[in-house]
């Protein structure tokens, strides 16, 4: 998946509908919200620190704000509702599962000592904290300016305080519930600062975790690190790659949370790739290359979907559109007066705009407007102040660029440990950082957390009559499976091979190689119908329309290049209009004679899977078990729709799969069409087994940060309702597991005296898991370069009573069953299949595939 496609799929489709243009980085104050405090715009904080009142309600003058006694018991995500809770705190799912209330740890496997990227909090405040909300009139968008205006009043606040731009924490209570102060900006503008008491926090309050995170971010700023997005980076120690015009800022992800036995800081190394050019300079070069006439189209194509960094506030924005009719001389409403963009940047950030004729960029803000108010409008950005981030598709396809980047960013376990040790040492040695922590009574351990984990036994692979084991450290069996017949094969008798005249030699070489590698695998291959086409899309489509019939088993296309439009056209026709399994091969892949036999073997295996063949299996002890994988993909081409892929097993060996795709409304992550898809999967199971499954395990991938509550409240009831709809007497045991790949946790084993990656099959179910969840980590795959990433599994519903040990082992077994790789993958096979299905539909087809293909892995 390309960088741009990945960026678009992750978030652009989740944006809100534009309502009205906003100032750069901020939205205008909606009419419904006049008189209410504005949110700060700091996305990563976990709660507003105010209680929700009726939208637009105005308090009578002189009325004292009553602090709710129940506020401390509220879930952080319930207050204010405008900031994302990225850590899904306050969601207690474990208490509803009787069989894991006492213990959620497994027992099988051999013990192993690990170190993890966590630091314990040794001491923390044991006094009441006072939380205040700070409001400005007129509004101040710059956080630095807000802080400066507030901190002019040391005599009122004292020197021990923490402020994030909106929420103020103090160790003492101010004399009045509402305190009004007045400050003056450098330009002479008078600003009223209103400080309102919102909460009293005892040391046991869960909101204290939010406070600890704010304190730690302040420490990072003391170390001269700058916030970009959610994380902090060091601009004073950049890694320059001048010949590629790239710069890497090293940094860290940090979060402080309550884990099993203690509150700990989790930190991991992060890197921000910046390009040393502004959007304005990029646009100028593009205009020179393509001329004035083609410039608007080319510019839109290149820029829309990219992420840019505005260094005046170190925030990232996604470019959603270009406002061709607007320039910095245009005005917008700020408070009750009009101000130009040029004046705005001068007054807010002391920046001068040089090019007054440049067009503005549009970024639709993802977060909703204030409670009771209109959705936020789009932000308008000045290209001169926007720096490009990340990599273009062209850069990602450049081997040299990626090699140079990976040498800086793919750290070995030893390098990663050293970087984190140095990080915590710098904090402990910096007198200002220590003064800040000490003033609040916070102290961190200076050693990485040590913990015990288990390594699950190596699985035995069954391939036809042959049963073999693989090397546990390599975690793949491509060598062991050679020369052994597969579990079941489909003869290749009626098939087509399309090629251009220039690629005739490649087509014939592939055909000969397939004839050599297929018989040992048990695949009978007849000669293909060879069709020569011109190197034009129309010729390719005409050949498909004239030659593909209902009897055609497989279509192989030798494509002269990796142009997406040709690939998309082939897949759309053969997945929707004329349902036939297909295999596209880029001619360059077949150009190395020494690798041809290996490539032909992989192609033969893939083609066999797509026609309904089965390759290998592992032992699954549970009978009448159906395993389901669900994943989502956001399709920005077809009106920002979401595609949900659902893949379900059809047999005991987990070698046959049913696939269904649902196209949802714009930007919707939660699977609305889940009922229809799951019912179709259950009917397919009944058709294959003459009964319904007695156990169903659903692995739900693609759940973003902060979306767990929606899955618990919305998707699980849908699944249960779907099961009940099949009959009152049908009551299978149901388990729902949320699978998360993007985690900050890293684990290191000591092998030969130095930090190394843990072996595949390592399970971590203590110390770093969450006490309110039934969760565990598995390191399933092996990596050759860098540090291995574990996968987090969170069982959010379980009526099966299955022991944690069995749940962990079954999950690991399913990581062996992905037929596109003869090895262990990072997630259970149905999740990976669901991802491939949703990605194919979202990237290439943009329509629901033909139901005739539901029983085939045609998307591999």
- What gap in Å lies between CA 106 and CA 520, rounded to an integer? 41
Strands 263-278 and 118-123: antiparallel
Is the Cβ–Cβ distance between 762 and 744 less than 8 Å?
A: no
How many alpha carbons fall within 13 Å on the CB side of residue 16? 16
- What gap in Å lies between CA 8 and CA 537, rounded to an integer? 26
Is the Cβ–Cβ distance between 201 and 171 less than 8 Å?
A: no
Catalytic residue among 135, 398, 445, 669: 669
Catalytic residue among 85, 701, 715, 765: 701
DSSP-derived secondary structure for 570-618: HHHIIIIIS---EEEEEGGGG--GGGHHHHHHHHHHHHHHHTT-B--B-
Catalytic residue among 85, 631, 635, 767: 631
Helix, strand, or coil (residue 125): coil
Is the Cβ–Cβ distance between 717 and 672 less than 8 Å?
A: no
- What gap in Å lies between CA 291 and CA 299, rounded to an integer? 11
pLDDT tens, 386-425? 988 877 777 887 888 888 888 888 999 999 999 999 999 9
Annotate 658-690 with b (16+ C-beta within 10 A) or e (fewer): bbbbbbbebbbbbbebbbebbebbbebbeeeee
Active site residue 565: no
pLDDT tens, 479-513? 888 888 999 999 999 999 999 999 999 999 999 99
Sign of the alpha-carbon torsion through 696, 697, 699, 705:
positive
Task: Quote the pLDDT of residue 736.
Answer: 96
Active site residue 631: yes
The enclosing H or E element of 521 equals helix 504-521
Active site residue 669: yes
- What gap in Å lies between CA 100 and CA 272, rounded to an integer? 40
Is the Cβ–Cβ distance between 28 and 377 less than 8 Å?
A: yes
- Give the list of residues 6+ apart from residue 489 with CB closer than 8 angstroms, or none: 521, 522, 523, 524, 608, 613
- What gap in Å lies between CA 184 and CA 192, rounded to an integer? 9
Radius of gyration of the chain (CA): 29
**Residue 106 CA: distances (Å) to CA of 100, 543, 775:** 11, 57, 11
Is the Cβ–Cβ distance between 685 and 650 less than 8 Å?
A: yes
Task: Quote the pLDDT of residue 19.
Answer: 36
> Which residue ranges in the chain fall short of pLDDT 50?
1-84, 368-375, 669
Annotate 597-630 with b (16+ C-beta within 10 A) or e (fewer): eebbbebbbbbbbbbbbbbbbbebebeebbbbbb
- What gap in Å lies between CA 847 and CA 859, rounded to an integer? 14
- What gap in Å lies between CA 217 and CA 214, rounded to an integer? 5
Closest CA to 91 of 744, 713, 769: 713
Active site residue 835: yes
- What gap in Å lies between CA 57 and CA 54, rounded to an integer? 5
User: pTM value?
Assistant: 0.83
Closest CA to 134 of 180, 175, 172: 180
DSSP-derived secondary structure for 305-364: T-EEEETTTTEEEE--EEETT--TT-EEEETTEEEEHHHHHHHHH----S-TTPPEEEE-
Helix, strand, or coil (residue 474): coil
* Beta-carbon count within 10 A of 452 CB: 11
The enclosing H or E element of 18 equals none
């Amino acid at each position: 998946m390309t960088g741009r496609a990945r960026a678009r799929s992750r978030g652009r489709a989740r944006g809100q509908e534009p309502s009205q243009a906003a100032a750069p980085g901020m939205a205008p104050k909606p009419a419904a919200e006049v008189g209410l405090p504005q949110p700060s715009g700091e996305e990563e904080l976990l709660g507003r620190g105010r209680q929700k009142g009726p939208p637009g309600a105005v308090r009578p003058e002189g009325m004292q704000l009553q602090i709710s006694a129940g506020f401390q018991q509220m879930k952080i995500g319930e207050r204010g509702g405008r900031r994302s809770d990225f850590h899904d705190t306050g969601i207690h799912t474990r208490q509803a599962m009787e069989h894991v209330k006492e213990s959620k740890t497994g027992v099988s496997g051999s013990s192993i000592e690990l170190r993890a990227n966590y630091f314990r909090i040794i001491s923390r405040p044991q006094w009441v904290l006072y939380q205040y909300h700070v409001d400005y009139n007129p509004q101040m968008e710059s956080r630095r300016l807000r802080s400066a205006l507030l901190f002019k009043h040391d005599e009122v606040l004292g020197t021990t305080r923490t402020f994030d731009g909106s929420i103020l924490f103090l160790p003492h209570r101010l004399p009045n519930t509402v305190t009004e102060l007045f400050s003056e900006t450098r330009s002479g503008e008078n600003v009223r600062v209103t400080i309102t008491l919102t909460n009293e926090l005892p040391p046991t309050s869960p909101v204290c975790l939010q406070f600890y995170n704010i304190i730690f971010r302040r420490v990072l700023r003391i170390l001269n690190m700058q916030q970009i997005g959610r994380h902090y980076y060091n601009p004073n120690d950049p890694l320059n790659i001048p010949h590629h015009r790239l710069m890497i800022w090293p940094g860290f992800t940090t979060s402080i949370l309550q884990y099993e036995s203690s509150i700990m800081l989790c930190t991991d190394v992060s890197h921000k790739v910046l390009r040393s050019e502004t959007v304005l300079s990029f646009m100028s070069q593009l205009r020179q290359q393509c001329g004035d006439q083609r410039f608007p189209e080319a510019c839109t194509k290149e820029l829309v979907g990219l992420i840019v960094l505005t260094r005046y506030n170190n925030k990232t924005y996604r470019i959603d559109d270009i406002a061709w009719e607007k320039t910095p001389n245009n005005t917008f409403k700020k408070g009750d007066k009009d101000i130009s963009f040029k004046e705005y940047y001068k007054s807010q950030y002391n920046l001068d705009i040089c090019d007054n004729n440049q067009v503005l960029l549009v970024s639709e803000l993802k977060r909703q407007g204030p409670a009771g108010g209109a959705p936020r409008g789009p932000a308008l950005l000045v290209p001169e102040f926007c720096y490009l981030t990340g990599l273009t598709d062209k850069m990602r396809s450049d081997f040299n660029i990626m090699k140079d980047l990976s040498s800086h960013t793919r750290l070995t376990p030893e390098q990663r440990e050293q970087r984190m040790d140095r990080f915590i040492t710098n904090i402990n040695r910096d007198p200002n950082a220590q003064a800040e922590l000490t003033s609040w009574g916070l102290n961190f351990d200076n050693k990485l957390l040590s913990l015990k984990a288990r390594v699950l036994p190596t699985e035995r692979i069954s391939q036809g009559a042959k049963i073999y084991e693989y090397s546990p450290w390599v975690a793949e069996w491509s060598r062991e499976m050679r020369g052994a017949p597969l579990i079941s094969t489909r003869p290749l008798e009626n098939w087509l091979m399309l090629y251009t005249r220039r690629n005739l030699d490649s087509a014939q070489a592939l055909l000969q190689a397939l004839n050599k590698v297929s018989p040992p695998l048990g695949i009978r291959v007849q000669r293909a119908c060879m069709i020569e086409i011109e190197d034009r899309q129309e010729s390719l489509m005409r050949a498909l329309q004239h030659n593909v019939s209902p009897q055609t088993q497989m279509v192989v296309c030798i494509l002269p290049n990796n142009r997406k439009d040709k690939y998309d056209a082939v897949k759309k026709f053969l997945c929707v209009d004329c349902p036939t399994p297909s295999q596209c091969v880029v001619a360059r892949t077949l150009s190395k004679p020494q690798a041809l036999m290996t490539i032909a073997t992989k192609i033969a295996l893939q083609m066999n899977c797509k026609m309904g063949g089965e390759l290998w299996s592992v032992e699954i002890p549970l009978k009448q078990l159906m395993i389901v994988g669900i994943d989502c993909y956001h399709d920005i081409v077809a009106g920002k729709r979401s595609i949900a892929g659902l893949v379900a097993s059809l047999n005991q060996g987990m070698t046959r799969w049913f696939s269904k795709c649902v196209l949802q409304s714009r930007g919707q992550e939660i699977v609305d069409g889940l009922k229809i898809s799951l019912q179709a999967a259950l009917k397919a199971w009944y058709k294959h087994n003459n009964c319904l499954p007695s156990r169903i395990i659903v692995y739900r991938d693609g759940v973003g940060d902060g979306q767990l509550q929606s899955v618990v409240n919305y998707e699980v009831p849908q699944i249960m309702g779907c099961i009940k709809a099949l009959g009152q007497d049908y009551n299978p045991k149901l388990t729902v597991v949320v699978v998360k790949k993007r985690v900050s946790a890293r684990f290191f084993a000591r092998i030969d005296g130095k930090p190394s990656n843990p072996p595949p099959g390592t399970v971590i179910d203590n110390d770093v898991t969450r006490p309110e969840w039934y969760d565990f980590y598995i390191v399933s795959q092996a990596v050759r370069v860098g540090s291995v990433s574990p996968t987090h599994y969170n069982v959010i519903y379980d009526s099966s009573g299955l022991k944690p040990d069995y749940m962990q082992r079954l999950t690991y077994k399913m990581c062996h069953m992905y037929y596109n790789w003869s090895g262990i993958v990072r997630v259970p096979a149905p999740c990976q299949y669901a991802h491939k299905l949703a990605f194919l539909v979202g990237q290439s087809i943009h329509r629901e595939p033909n139901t005739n293909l539901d029983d085939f892995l045609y998307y591999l």
